[in-house]
């Protein structure tokens, strides 16, 4: 079990892998072609399932909770922490790989955007999300499989909600809810999808969550096959990239290869992506 610890000014942070997968760019980005990417199109690449841990003073903060069946608790144990030590869990959206482990953290106050709670509680919005998602796919069999997966996702979030509702604290976008912590509206992957900005002294980290899955998205502005609203993803990503550049922010991504950290710079030749390892 590997974890990756790093500092953001006076904050102690760690990337904690809940899981690890494998895919290729052709599968992830339906719009990608061999003319653009060459052999990289079908090369195997690592897909991370990274959770972010931050210690601020004596406060332990976790962003997302993994599936509940992965390695997150073992990764926390590597830092000498147990689930009961976590004071705040920030939830970024209602997908199972992000909220599945939430019941493991009995003491934590659960932070989510007002919009996220609204989209969890509004049945019409949930149905609309499923429909939009299905429209992405032409193949009927794939449509049915995806529809049932989206239904399952919706039911999972709805079944979970009554169990955690009393511990949820909703937060408005761009309002500081812990010193230096702000939620960013990052709709597109899902209607409830939320990114996060963390600042300490002169340093900033932007957790893009599921918005950016691979550096090719900086050049080509593609949405992934799993994004419910591809057009929105493209607009959201442009906003996030501008924000990252303006703040010279460290990037953290849930599905970037472990540890999920990178930097972006503007060169005369264009934007350049630098992995941080
Ligand atoms: Zn995800």
What does the domain layout of the chain look like in residue ranges? Answer: 4-118+166-264+271-275
Q: What's the pLDDT at 190?
A: 85
> On the CB side of 224, how many CA atoms lie within 13 Å of its CA?
22
**Average pLDDT for 263-276:** 96
Segment among 36-50, 74-88, 121-135, 139-153 with least mean pLDDT: 139-153
How far does the centroid of ligand 1 lie from the alpha carbon of residue 75, in Å? 18
- Say yes or no to pLDDT of 140 above 60: no
How far does the centroid of ligand 1 lie from the alpha carbon of residue 270, in Å? 28
How far does the centroid of ligand 1 lie from the alpha carbon of residue 255, in Å? 7
Distance CA(241)–CA(220), nearest Å, equals 13
**Residues, CB within 5 angstroms of ligand 1 (ion):** 97, 210
How far does the centroid of ligand 1 lie from the alpha carbon of residue 268, in Å? 33
Q: What's the pLDDT at 228?
A: 81
- What does the pLDDT look like over 163-215, one tens digit per residue? 999 999 999 999 999 999 999 999 998 888 999 999 999 999 999 999 999 99
**Average pLDDT for 82-105:** 95
How far does the centroid of ligand 1 lie from the alpha carbon of residue 192, in Å? 12
CA distances for 220 relative to 28, 29, 215, angstroms: 13, 10, 9
Q: What's the pLDDT at 141?
A: 58
- Say yes or no to pLDDT of 230 above 60: yes
How far does the centroid of ligand 1 lie from the alpha carbon of residue 94, in Å? 9
How far does the centroid of ligand 1 lie from the alpha carbon of residue 22, in Å? 14
How far does the centroid of ligand 1 lie from the alpha carbon of residue 267, in Å? 30
How far does the centroid of ligand 1 lie from the alpha carbon of residue 49, in Å? 7
How far does the centroid of ligand 1 lie from the alpha carbon of residue 210, in Å? 5
Residue 235's pLDDT band (cuts 50, 70, 90): very high
**Average pLDDT for 144-155:** 71
pTM over 0.85: yes
Distance CA(217)–CA(237), nearest Å, equals 8
E strand spans, the chain: 4-8, 11-24, 44-56, 59-63, 88-90, 109-113, 168-171, 176-178, 181-185, 194-200, 203-209, 250-253, 261-267, 270-275
Mean pLDDT of the chain: 91
> Residue-wise over 38-51: b if at least 16 C-beta within 10 A, else e?
eeebeeeeebbbbb
How far does the centroid of ligand 1 lie from the alpha carbon of residue 152, in Å? 15
CATH 3.40.50.720 fits 4-118+166-264+271-275, yes or no: no
Q: What's the pLDDT at 137?
A: 57
Residue 143's pLDDT band (cuts 50, 70, 90): low
């Amino acid at each position: 079990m590997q974890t990756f610890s790093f500092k953001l000014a006076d904050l102690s942070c760690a990337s904690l892998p809940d899981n690890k997968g494998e895919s290729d760019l052709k599968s992830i980005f339906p719009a990608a072609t061999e003319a653009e990417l060459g052999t990289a199109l079908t090369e195997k690449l690592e897909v991370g399932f990274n959770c972010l841990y931050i210690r601020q003073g004596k406060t332990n903060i976790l962003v997302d909770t993994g599936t509940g069946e992965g390695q997150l608790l073992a990764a926390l144990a590597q830092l000498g922490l147990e689930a009961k030590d976590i004071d705040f869990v920030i939830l970024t959206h209602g997908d199972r790989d992000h909220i599945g482990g939430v019941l493991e953290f009995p003491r934590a106050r659960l932070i989510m955007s007002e919009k996220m709670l609204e989209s969890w509680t509004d049945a019409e919005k949930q149905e609309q999300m499923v429909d939009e998602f299905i429209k992405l796919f032409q193949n009927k069999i794939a449509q049915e499989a995806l529809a049932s997966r989206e239904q399952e996702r919706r039911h999972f979030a709805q079944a979970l909600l009554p169990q955690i509702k009393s511990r949820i604290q909703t937060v408005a976008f761009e309002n500081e809810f812990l010193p230096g912590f702000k939620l960013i509206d990052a709709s597109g992957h899902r209607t409830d999808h939320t990114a996060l900005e963390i600042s300490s002294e002169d340093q900033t980290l932007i957790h893009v969550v599921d918005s950016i899955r691979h550096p090719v998205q900086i050049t080509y502005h593609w949405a992934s096959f799993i994004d419910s609203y591809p057009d929105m993803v493209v607009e959201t990503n442009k906003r996030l990239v501008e924000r990252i550049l303006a703040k010279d922010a460290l990037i953290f991504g849930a599905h970037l290869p472990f540890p999920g950290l990178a930097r972006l710079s503007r060169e005369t030749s264009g934007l350049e992506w630098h992995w941080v390892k």
